Amino acid sequence: MAAPEASPLHQFSIDRIAEMHLGRLDLSYTNSALLMTIAAGLITALMVAATRNASLVPGRLQSLAEMLYDFVAKMIDDNVGEEGRQYFPFLFTLFMFILFGNLLGMIPYSFTFTSHIVVTFALAATVFIGVTLIGVIRHGFHFLSLFVPHGVPKALLLLLVPIELLSYCIRPFTLSIRLFANMVAGHTMLVIFAGFVAPLGLFFFAPIAMDAALVLLEFLVAVLQAYVFTILSCLYLRDAIHLH
């Protein structure tokens, strides 16, 4: 899988930093894991530093943390409702982790762990399993009414229920592929355009200008995709709590 150094995909290759094996399991500490550790560390540091000297008139750091908090809290209030409040810690962690993963990936020579489907699928599967469990625990057998559309003739239900069921099962896939594909596409595009700089000779400035614009776009995508992932998780949660 290791792509050659100059390949646009080389930036996604995983390198082992510290070898670690448990039986036949390869638990090596990789650059991906390193970036995740950094992300988790930075988030913790930000929140701790922001709340340590909390004052009524917030300083810069405190207002940043408050804005992030308000952003996620409002998203949950608008999309899930009152009952969603108890799931705030999870959704906030999810949002911050993806946001920091995307943004840390924008640092040159760093690594974007959200560009690996294993990572995004693990996140999406956690959301999916968690939301389904919440639905089943809250509603028991009645949870299955989520798959029965309203006001449909009985005969059509035979066809529609499997379709609803399938479209429910697709959720973790679309959720994870959306994030992963956006990150891979953007970062690959940056390197491809950068690769045009030398061969174009006199017109070297054209791809550089393109890359400059793309970097800005990528920052937008990084924040937007974290937002999209979280809001879709909210909506799934809403479905599980309110059924319809």
20, 29, 149, 205: residue in contact with other proteins (rule CB under 8 A): 149
If binding is defined by CB under 8 A, does position 169 make contact with other proteins?
A: yes
Min dist. Cβ of residue 19 to other proteins (A)? 34
The site string for other proteins over 61-80 (x = CB under 8 A, - otherwise) reads -------------x--xxxx
d(CA 35, CA 43): 12
Q: Is 162 in the site for other proteins (CB under 8 A)?
A: yes
Instruction: Name which of residues 196 to 235 contact other proteins (CB under 8 A).
Output: 221, 224, 228, 231-232, 235
Total of residues contacting other proteins (CB under 8 A): 43
Per the structure block, which two tokens stand in for 243? 């059924």
CB of residue 241 to other proteins, shortest distance in Å: 7
Residue number, 197 or 228, with CB nearest to other proteins: 228
Binding site for other proteins (CB under 8 A): 74, 77-84, 146, 149-150, 159, 162-164, 166-171, 173-174, 177-178, 181-182, 185-186, 221, 224, 228, 231-232, 235-236, 238-239, 241-244
